[in-house]
Structure 1
Amino acid sequence: MTNGWADLQNAKVFLIEGSNAAENHVMAMKWIRKAQEKGAKVIHVDPRFNRTSSIADVFARIRPGSDIAFLSAVINHVLQKRLYDEAYVKLHTNALLVSKDEFGFDEGVFSGYDHEKHKYDNASWGYELDAARKPVKAKDLDDPRCVFSKLKQHFARYTPEVAEQISGVPAKQVVEIAELYANNRPGTILYALGMTQHTVGIQNIRCYGILQMLLGNIGVAGGGVNALRGEPNVQGACDMSVLHGYMFGYLNYPEHAHTTFKDWTKANGSFRAKMTANGLKAWFGENATPENEFGWAWLPKKSAKKDYSIYGILDAAYAGQMKVLWALGQNPMVTNPNLSYVHDALSKLDMLVVQELWETETAAFWQRPGTDPKAIQTEVLLLPAAYFMEKEGTITGSGRMVQWRHAAVKPPGQAKTDIEIIDAVYRKVRGLYAGSADPKDAPLAKAAWDYRAESLAEDVLKEINGRVHRDVTLPDGKVLKAGDMVGGIGQLQADGSTSSGVWLYAGVFAGGKNLSKRRDSSDKSGIGFYKDFAWSWPGNMKILYNRASCDANGKPWPGTIPIIAWDETEKKWKGKDTPDVPDATKGPDTPEGQRAFRMNAEGLGRLMAAPYKSFKEAKDELPIDSSYVPKDGPFPEHYEPVESPVANVMHPKVQTNPCLKYPRVKAKQPIGTSKDFPYVLMTSSIAEHWCAGSTTRNVPWLNELFPEPVIELPEKLAAKLTIRSGDKVKVTSARGDVTVKAVVTKRMQVMKIAGQEVPVVWMPYNWGFKGLSTGPSTNYLTIDAVDPGAGTQETKACLVDVARVEEAVASR
């Protein structure tokens, strides 16, 4: 979340799309309700009418997989009717920067596309640069070469009528939503997996960023783009580099071409190199020095041609290229799509290690109904792990708040906490390789691994925060003493004199105090910041990009809630929040004081995601920073799901994301067509069961509330198929079939898309063959095509057929 849970109360309008917050993120509703009490409006966009829809002022039913078409029409309306915040757009975004003349878009693809490789050369997406290697700036937004003009041109094709044709949202309602959202500022956007689990997931979220920047809703109280994470510590897991493409703190993981640290710095910039050096210093301690590039050679380098996501892992297992898989707290035999393929891939492993509370479907995959255990040679080890109430440590929630949790009880039997298991395995493996002269074994010997058993979790948090390794004198004259805890990101050095396991967390242990343990619930800000309750990264900041809440002179924009401002008397940025500026002493009259989006190389919000590297001097070899560019385009564009009942209205010759490569394994990844599978299936979780259901399906009273999986059918479709609620139906896709009970409901509808009727059905995915409540897994039906950048699966849109197999009989 760019903002935070409590800040939701400051919004005047909510756009909730891709989330059923009322059921799956109940804490959000506490603050949404507070905002509603003050007159805030709620817009809910979803294929299914659910509990969130019931509290909305406007509910718009949308076809799964068509969000970009709808949002693009909203963006276009904002542009055409000049509803955007012109002053904000000019000052804080790249709207005025001049694009290259060779940039273009034609027949569904951007310039630079290689049809054989399904890949872009993005050089033509960049800016025109001056002699100092800085982007050329247009005089006004009407310059046809500037980003703003390119933006208007791109989105002009998405009229409300086109959006209706693709998404099913009526044109009049598209306009109503655009007007309601644009004319009630600040507005905030909430989303969850309903927006990310698509083959255009990244570009779905890009639409949100563009809309919010146009309206001046980024960096302000009550604004932002707020991801509602699927589990309590998903944010923390991502921060710690669980995402396959990143190291600690979202630093790009090195590829095989980055044989030296300098090679990596050329691609990523010296700012991120400093943070990487601090991370490596935390990993390798005194063994990491400037002379050996902080142990860079000890980092394994990934191949740029390989897929390291869970889907690449399963593909490698199926191909016999992976021998051992260790699954920690994950149950892919329920949560992954195309489960028959998952089962076949696990069957090819030599060993599967599962670290879990229960014997889950993954641990017992060889027991799957219909499977002959004798035919599976995979050895399975089940490591008994502790539940969250049985272990201490931090979690980082959606709002970036790092909170310490104390253990309530001890783990039962032989169960151990995850950190104890990892620690024990590492120490054992290091012992087995002791004395090895093989260079590939060096990381085991060189790692700094000296955590104490009695304070294991807190010792790790101290390493994450960072230490001073030798005395450091800061520019303001303050001296950091060797052995001290680092007090914040600004204290980190590039020369090895400091360390920080995750640079974003520098300061969580400032002054030697574990700030994640703080529990002062008083709101001294008066606007929901709660600065003394736990600690938020970075620097206990509550609203990211909050420099954008001010104008060019450092004063809050008129009509906004003041967060920070430049204090001319004290010559520093100050306010209710930690100022999000490179240097709090650099005022609006300096380049540093105008970098509202300082994590981008331009220092600006990026309406167009152009490739760009910033340099201090034109002659410099190494850049300061490098901006991220999506693989599939600098602007969002509507592409149909891999399995779709309709042709792509925007460009029939390019039906799906052009950067998508699917199927990856032809024999195991069939693609269904609407001829055989005429209905669109969307899936989601439910309030009563959590994700794979491994825990909640072992709780009797939750099973009573929702005892088995079902399929929700529109009344019109049910009448056509002569299906009544309670009937058992067979749901079939190109990948498999399941039999479940039907629920005939007005919550789902037959939609009118591109002139034809498209029935949409819904199923929860939380069941499997283990636990107290068992049932067929919906993910035997879903497709494992993924977003080419994020690697998120398209579980929100695939094609199925439905047929009744057993009529319901009323019990007496």
Structure 2
Amino acid sequence: MGTSFGRGGATQSLQDMANADCIVIQGSNMAECHPVGFQWVTEAKARGARVIHVDPRFTRTSAVSDKHLPIRAGSDIVLLGALINHVLSNDLWFHEYVLHYTNAATLISEDFEDAEDLDGIFSGYDPETGAYHLKSWGYQTEDEGQGERADEKRNQGHEERAQAGGQQYGSGGAPVGSGTPVRDETLQHPRTVFQILKRHFSRYTPEMVRETCGISEEDFDYLARSVTENSGRERTTCFAYAVGWTQHTLGAQFIRTASILQLLLGNMGRPGGGIMALRGHATIQGSTDIPTLFNLLPGYLPMPSVTAQSFSEYVDGIRTTSQKGYWANAEAYSVNLLKAWWGDAATAENDWAYDYIPRINGAHGTYQTLMSMLK
């Protein structure tokens, strides 16, 4: 979610689910585990919305849904990928929305290579560490040098926090530099995000869904028609997930794939659309929103690193001045937080009392600390 939208929280309120024309609940037993929020699903259904439950088990959510699609545990990405392929292959994507409100027209770096080019892995893979270097995944920019310098500045202190694997910035993916991205409004250039998506997801077919997920082609067609017929200019579809996705080894990929699908269909930022992340507030959601994680301040702001000695260095490590999107306003978010804590004592002259905040120089979470003690 953070990679797609700038922060890792739900994209709408629970109440807004009542405005959806179709609701797909996947990786969640919402009726039983989030019964208060489920009232809005019930209201949507009373309005005529179609509710589909995709889950390995038949639960109380399945019982009150229009259809239950049993799926093999862990195969969700194949089902979601096939929906994306269906949308792209049949020209069912929301053209105006995708062109104006997504990065579909943006060109990716010439150095990027997809999984089909490298026998199942992407460019930037380091076999020694088992991790990816993300430089080749970035946008092609008109002023490449500026983008690279911005990336370096944004990554100040990254090494100290790399082991944490937390939710700094509530996001992920390749850093967005300050260079001006190159775009092809026709979407025909082979290195546009749109064309890369088409090539990558073409492998996910209804036949693969049947073989991998255990969902028949007829049931896949029902799901695909339900989602696409209830998306577009006049209608919206909502996806809802819980720990059936987030706690899976491929959870981040499941959520990212659902985000791509919803953007292609124009279901983000519109009444009844979005992706509802269902969580236990005092535990999962609370750890980031309150926050209780060592590497976060409220609002997904990162905890300052020892390398960020001034407020300006801290803010510049989060965003660049020409960057668009949620984190372009990082300075305002940070000042608001510091003023909320220290009021009139936080002024521009004293860096908004930035020096009152402690710094981190490594992975100081409970798990990492315990593992270090056991060594």
State the TM-score bracket (shorter-chain normalisation).
Answer: 0.7 to 0.9
Tell me which residue corresponds to 2:109. 100
The answer to whether the 8 Å contact 1:73/1:158 transfers is yes
Within a 5 Å distance, the mapping from 1:667-686 to structure 2 comes to: none
Gaps of 5+ in 2: 1-9, 144-177, 322-328
Residue of 120, 141, 156 corresponding to 1:129? 141
Residue matched to 1:168: 214
Question: Aligned ranges for residues 580-619 of structure 1 at < 5 Å?
Answer: none
| 1:33-60 per-position Cα deviation (integer Å, ceiling 9, x unaligned) | 2222222111111111111111222211
Aligned residue in 2 for 1:28: 37
Pair 1:283-2:341 in alignment: yes
Q: Is 1:183 the equivalent of 2:264?
A: no
Cα deviation 1:616-645 (Å, max 9, x = unaligned): xxxxxxxxxxxxxxxxxxxxxxxxxxxxxx
- Between 310-319 and 175-184, report the one with greater CA deviation: 310-319
Distance 2:359 2:79 in 1: 40
Q: CA separation in 2, counterparts of 1:277 and 1:6?
A: 31
SS, match of residue 188 in structure 1: strand
* Aligned partner of 2:123 among 106, 111, 127: 111
Q: Are 1:89 and 1:214, in contact at CA under 8 Å, matched by a contact in 2? A: yes
- Output the amino acid matched with 1:245: N
Distance 1:260 1:115 in 2: 37
Q: Does 1:199 align with 2:249?
A: yes
* Counterparts in 2 of 1:73 and 1:244: CA distance versus 1, 3 Å: farther
Tell me the CA shift for residue 198 of structure 1. Answer: 1.6
C-alpha displacement of 1:286? 5.2
2:268 to 211, 214, 218: 218
Tell me the equivalent position of 1:141: 187
- CA gap 1:26/1:133 in 2 versus in 1, 3 angstroms: same
Aligned to 1:88: 97
Which structure carries more relative contact order (alpha carbon 8 Å, separation 6+)? 2
Q: Structure 1 residue aligned with 2:331, among 264, 273, 283?
A: 273
Shift of 1:146: 0.8
Amino acid at match of 2:81: S
The residue identity in structure 1 corresponding to 2:292 is V
**Residue 298 of structure 2 corresponds to residue 248 of structure 1:** yes
Q: For 1:109, what is the secondary structure of its paired residue?
A: coil
- For 1:336, the equivalent position in structure 2 comes to none
Assess, with a 3 A threshold, how the Cα gap between structure 1 residues 32 and 114 changes in structure 2: closer, same or farther.
same
Q: Deviation of residue 93 (structure 1)?
A: 0.5
CA contact (8 A) 2:99 2:185 kept: no
* One-letter amino acid of the counterpart of residue 120, structure 2: G
Task: Report the CA distance between 1:264 and its aligned residue.
Answer: 2.3
Superposition TM-score, scaled by structure 2 size:
0.77
Report the CA distance shift for 1:259/1:115 in structure 2 as closer, same or farther (over 3 A).
farther
CA-CA distance at 1:148 after TM superposition: 0.5
Q: Deviations over 1:301-325 (max 9, x none)?
A: 3235x3x444324424544xxxxxx
CA drift at 1:235: 4.3
**For 2:278, which of 204, 225, 228 is the aligned residue?**
228
CA distance in 1, matches of 2:68, 2:47: 20
1:128-179 CA-to-partner distances (Å, cap 9, x unmatched) read 1124821111031222121111111111111222233332223432232112
Distance in 2, matches of 1:300 and 1:165, equals 53
**Are residues 235 and 197 of structure 1, via their aligned partners in 2, closer, same or farther at CA, if it must alter by over 3 Å?**
closer
**Which has a greater percent of strand?**
1
Counterpart CA distance in 1 for 2:343 and 2:40 is 44
Deviations along 1:45-90, one digit per CA (max 9) or x if unpaired, are 1111111111222211122222112211111111111111111101
How far apart, in 2, do the equivalents of 1:287 and 1:198 lie?
A: 45
Note if contact 2:71-2:214 (Cα within 8 Å) is conserved in structure 1: yes
Q: Deviations over 1:499-558 (max 9, x none)?
A: xxxxxxxxxxxxxxxxxxxxxxxxxxxxxxxxxxxxxxxxxxxxxxxxxxxxxxxxxxxx
Distance apart, 1:287 and its partner CA: 5.0
* Equivalence map 1:256-335=2 (5 Å): 256-269=306-319, 271-285=329-343, 288-304=346-362, 306=363, 308-319=364-375
Q: Which amino acid aligns with 2:179?
A: R
* Alpha-carbon displacement from aligned partner over 1:721-758 (angstroms, at most 9, x marks no partner): xxxxxxxxxxxxxxxxxxxxxxxxxxxxxxxxxxxxxx
Pair 149,278 (structure 1): closer, same or farther in 2 beyond 3 Å: same
Residue segments in structure 1 that go unaligned for 5+ positions in a row: 320-812
Residue 120 of structure 1: which of 113, 132, 153 is its match?
A: 132
Identity of matched residues, %: 40
* Native 8 Å contact 1:160 1:172 kept in 2: no
1:451-500 CA distances to partner (integer Å, 9 max, x unpaired)? xxxxxxxxxxxxxxxxxxxxxxxxxxxxxxxxxxxxxxxxxxxxxxxxxx
Counterpart Cα distance in 2 of 1:212 and 1:243? 29
Q: Deviations over 1:261-319 (max 9, x none)?
A: 33322221263123213323443455544444334344333235x3x444324424544
Separation (CA, whole Å) in 2 of partners of 1:286 and 1:260 = 19
Q: Structure 1 pair 310/201, CA: closer, same or farther in 2 (3 Å)?
A: farther
Deviations 1:186-236 (A, max 9, x none): 111111111100222222211221111111111111111111222468645
TM-superposition CA deviations, 1:334-373 (whole Å, max 9, x none): xxxxxxxxxxxxxxxxxxxxxxxxxxxxxxxxxxxxxxxx
Q: Which amino acid aligns with 1:136?
A: V
Aligned match of 1:51: 60
Equivalent-residue separation in structure 2 for 1:93 and 1:62 (angstroms): 30
How many equivalent residue pairs?
317
Aligned residue for 1:194, secondary structure, equals: helix
User: 3-state DSSP class of the match of 1:42?
Assistant: strand
Asked which structure has the greater CA Rg, the reply is: 1
**Within-5 A mapping of 1:727-806:** none
Contact 1:89-1:213 at 8 Å conserved across structures? yes
Q: CA RMSD in A?
A: 2.3
User: SS state of the match for residue 110, structure 1?
Assistant: coil
> How many Å apart are 1:9 and its aligned residue?
1.9
Amino acid at match of 1:312: Q
User: Partner of 2:44: helix, strand, or coil?
Assistant: helix
Q: How does 1:556-595 map to 2 (within 5 A)?
A: none
Q: Is the 8 A contact 1:104 1:111 kept in 2?
A: yes
Q: What is the match of residue 157 of structure 2?
A: none
1:468-507 mapped onto 2 (5 Å cutoff): none
Q: Distance in 2 between matches of 1:161 and 1:303?
A: 49
The alpha-carbon deviation at position 24 of structure 1 amounts to 0.8
Give the alignment's TM-score, normalised by structure 1: 0.37
Q: CA distance change for structure 1 residues 156 and 46 in 2, over 3 Å: closer, same or farther?
A: same
Matches of 2:207 and 2:199, distance apart in 1: 17
> Which residue identity lines up with residue 301 of structure 1 in the other structure?
R
Contact 2:31 2:38 in 1 (8 A): yes
Aligned to 1:747: none
Give secondary structure in 2 for the equivalent of 1:152: helix
Amino acid at match of 1:161: E
